[in-house]
Amino acid sequence: MSTQRRYQIAVCGSAVVESETVAQAADAIGHEIAKRGFILLTGGTNGYPQRAAQSAQAAGGLSIGISPAANRSQHVKDYKIPLHEYDVLVLTGMGFSGRNVTLVRSADAVIFVGGRMGTVNEFTTAHSEMKVIGILSGSSANMDLLPQLAANAHRPGGVILCDADPVALVAKVIAQLDATESGELYG
């Protein structure tokens, strides 16, 4: 582990696996987060976040799901999202938008892997909350537009790092967190 603190790193992305190549990248991101001794957070959903959570667990890491549901039954039956990928499931009862805010605020950094409008919502929240943001380049058309979206925001936001290599992306995010934590950026 590169620091004394166990960072909480969220993985956000499409709840639908649209590409096996991108899913394998999500696997690599989850594995890398766990291998480095950090905690993986997701929105407790299917798709790429689920793949990252499964991979983190397989690597012996801690996986936390932040659910939009108010209870486990609603999580499974109404939202139709998994339970077993998470060592801890936080039941917010706040729907998707409320869950997104809780997820992002609970994370030290947020990594984006593919995604649709809900993922864009998580990105704008992370940007506004000044989080360290990692974007897996080439994982979807929306992800490739996010840096420009942030540039057009006309207000300060989180640090955005991009890379097409999932392991390199995790390394960049952790290096940025280390620099921030040591006071090099804000000290």
Print the SS3 string covering 37-79.
CCEEEECCCCHHHHHHHHHHHHCCCEEEEEECCCCHHHHHHHC
pTM score: 0.94
In which band, very low, low, confident or very high, does the pLDDT at 11 lie, cut at 50, 70 and 90? very high
The number of distinct structural domains making up the chain is 1
For the cut 70, the answer to whether the pLDDT of residue 186 exceeds it is no
Average pLDDT over residues 80-102: 95
Mean per-residue pLDDT over the chain, rounded: 93
Q: What is the pLDDT of residue 4?
A: 62
For the cut 80, the answer to whether the pLDDT of residue 185 exceeds it is no
* 186 within domain boundaries: no
What pLDDT, in 10s, does the model give residues 117-146? Answer: 999 999 999 999 999 999 999 999 999 999
Q: Which residue has the higher pLDDT, 5 or 81?
A: 81
In which band, very low, low, confident or very high, does the pLDDT at 187 lie, cut at 50, 70 and 90? very low
With residue 147 as reference, give the H or E element that holds it.
Answer: helix 141-151
Q: Which residues contact 97 (CB under 8 A, 6 or more apart)?
A: 121
> How far apart (Å, rounded) are the C-alpha atoms in residues 160 and 56?
23
| Both structure tokens of 19 | 């590409």
CATH code, 79: 3.40.50.450
* 2 within domain boundaries: no
Provide the domain limits for residue 52.
Answer: 8-180
* 187 within domain boundaries: no
For the cut 90, the answer to whether the pLDDT of residue 82 exceeds it is no
* 1 within domain boundaries: no
